[in-house]
Amino acid sequence: MQRKPRLNRRDWARIALQTLGITMIAVSVSLLGAHLILSTFSAGLNLTGIFATIALPIVLGGPTTLGFAIQNARLREAYRRLEAAAARDSLTACLNHGAFIAQANEFLNGTPHGQIRGALLVVDADYFKSVNDRYGHHIGDAALRQIAARIQGAVRQCDLVGRLGGEEFGVFLPGATQAIAESIAETIRRTVQTIEFEVEGNRFSLSVSVGGAVFESPVDYGELFRSADKKLYKVKNSGRNNVALMHLPVPGLDDSLLLKAG
């Protein structure tokens, strides 16, 4: 049996305001209608008439309005859950490729120019095809879930982690400095090395290569990804299981003033 979506305090506050507002409108309309009718055909409303005119909309309309408001709130919550589930990769629970890019672009396009800074890391599992080929895709899937868990455990609460495809992950670090980006990248690399599997008596461990780009001025996501991917390619060609970051040049500043990355 499917559970009904649970409502939070904000939902209940909205329900209360909607119910009160609609009920007050109903009472006002009822009072106005009764006043017009009784003023036309009699001496007008007396105390008993006023009480009845107010009580009837509350007794009859209040519960109905409350029920509709609760149902609408549950529908909104169910939609929020569906929307959140659609943005997630079903295997790793990371953001999927599209949702990751969309949320990164929200930061890149919505932050004032003078305050924008951050980094993008591209994390790729080393020799992952051999894991699938030798031990099977079910072991490969388990390895991907473990890698994703290590990445998510290394980042801050404000950071984004997405599965870009296959064994490649993206980590977007809004507001991160070069030092923070390097620290998180190295933590990811180091903690993934602690993952060990034993399949039919064969033990093996995992490793990742990390390329990254740090920015301190407005930048297009495509350019940011290409820069990080170039650094990842360099790591892959120089032995894997390493980290390499670059600092994107800030327009108008002398490159010699920028921090150097490997």
Q: Which residues are catalytic?
A: 167
Residue 67: CB atoms within 10 Å = 12
232 Cβ contact list (under 8 Å, min separation 6): 122, 124, 209, 210, 211, 244
> By C-alpha distance, which of 143, 246, 262 is closest to 193?
143
Query: How buried is residue 220: exposed, middle or buried, by Cβ count under 10 Å (0-12/13-18/19+)?
Result: exposed
Residue 4 amino acid letter: K
Tokens of 37: 């009718």
**Secondary structure element (H or E) that encloses residue 212, with its range:** strand 208-215
Dihedrals phi, psi of 242, to nearest 5 degrees: -150, 175
Q: What is the largest CA-CA distance in the chain?
A: 97
- What contacts 75, CB < 8 A, 6 or more positions away? none
Structure tokens at 150: 């290590």
CA gap 151, 167 in Å, rounded: 13
Q: Tell me the C-alpha distance between 26 and 211, whole Å.
A: 63
